[in-house]
């Protein structure tokens, strides 16, 4: 009954009565256990549980984290999906909850970006998705600069006046000064190196022409 009340207060009523007393911290928690976990991980950095597996230096702040970690060594997967015909097993109940949504189609997490209605079965899905909006923002800004002529990125090499609209272009440009060529042609037997990926893409047709001649 006690756990049912905790569940109701936390998930349905949104109550978070446990307040962190650490100076300057405004964190609140739904349960005392969550508050203890927060203090250990964020403030005290206390890691009282050490893995005793030979050669492993892993340490953590909670018994549950310790138990879950040990399963990476033992291979134990005690949580099994009960969906008909599914043999999925995992080490944590939260992973099983997320997995079951593959069967049910449930997607409770919504991207918070304005105008984006994409939904996901896990928070990890949102975190993987969010960089897409960052890329779109960067692309839009770069495109606008083709109209405005703005070139905010300047080369700081002595006596070089080069400017450009994108930071990645500036990185490639600086390699003309340093001689750095980090990109290697993946074609077998070819060791040509380039300062940018664009250099490789421009070079690859050379191998296609050789193949046609042969």
12 domain residue, yes or no: yes
What pLDDT shows up at residue 55?
Answer: 92
Cβ atoms 28, 20 nearer than 8 A: yes
* Span 88-98, pLDDT tens digits: 999 988 899 99
87 domain residue, yes or no: no
Considering only CA atoms, give the Rg of the chain: 27
What range defines the domain where residue 13 resides?
1-45
124 domain residue, yes or no: no
Which CATH number belongs to the domain containing residue 13 in this structure? 3.30.160.60
9 domain residue, yes or no: yes
85 domain residue, yes or no: no
How many domains does the chain divide into? Answer: 1
Confidence category of residue 17, pLDDT binned at 50, 70, 90: confident
What pLDDT shows up at residue 154?
Answer: 92
d(CA 44, CA 36): 10
* Span 142-176, pLDDT tens digits: 778 878 888 888 999 999 999 988 888 888 899 99
5 vs 44, residue with greater confidence: 44
158 domain residue, yes or no: no
Mean pLDDT on 168-187: 88
48 vs 107, residue with greater confidence: 107
Query: DSSP readout, the chain?
Result: -HHHHHHIIIIIS----EE--STT---EESSHHHHHHHIIIIII----EE--STT---EESSHHHHHHHHHHHH----EE--STT---EES-HHHHHHHHHHHH----EE--STT---EESSHHHHHHHHHHHHHHHHHHHHHHHHHH----EE--STT---EES-HHHHHHHHHHHH----EE--STT---EESSHHHHHHHHHHHHHHHHH-
Confidence category of residue 6, pLDDT binned at 50, 70, 90: low
């Amino acid at each position: 009954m006690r756990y049912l009340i905790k569940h109701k207060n936390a998930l349905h009523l949104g109550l978070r009565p446990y307040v962190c007393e650490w100076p300057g911290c405004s964190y609140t928690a739904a349960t005392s256990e969550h508050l203890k976990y927060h203090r250990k991980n964020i403030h005290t950095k206390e890691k009282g549980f050490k893995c005793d597996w030979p050669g492993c230096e892993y340490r953590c702040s909670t018994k549950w984290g310790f138990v879950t970690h040990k399963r990476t060594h033992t291979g134990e997967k005690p949580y099994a999906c009960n969906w008909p015909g599914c043999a999925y097993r995992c080490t944590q109940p939260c992973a099983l909850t997320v997995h079951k949504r593959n069967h049910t189609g449930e997607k409770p997490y919504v991207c918070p970006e304005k105008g984006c209605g994409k939904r996901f079965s896990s928070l990890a899905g949102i975190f993987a998705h969010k960089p897409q909006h960052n890329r779109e923002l960067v692309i839009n800004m770069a495109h606008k600069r083709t109209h405005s002529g703005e070139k905010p990125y300047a080369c700081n090499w002595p006596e070089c006046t080069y400017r450009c609209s994108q930071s990645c272009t500036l990185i490639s440009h600086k390699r003309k000064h340093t001689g750095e060529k980090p990109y290697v042609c993946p074609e077998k037997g070819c060791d040509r190196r380039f300062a940018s990926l664009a250099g490789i893409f421009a070079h690859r047709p050379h191998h296609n022409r050789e193949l046609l001649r042969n």
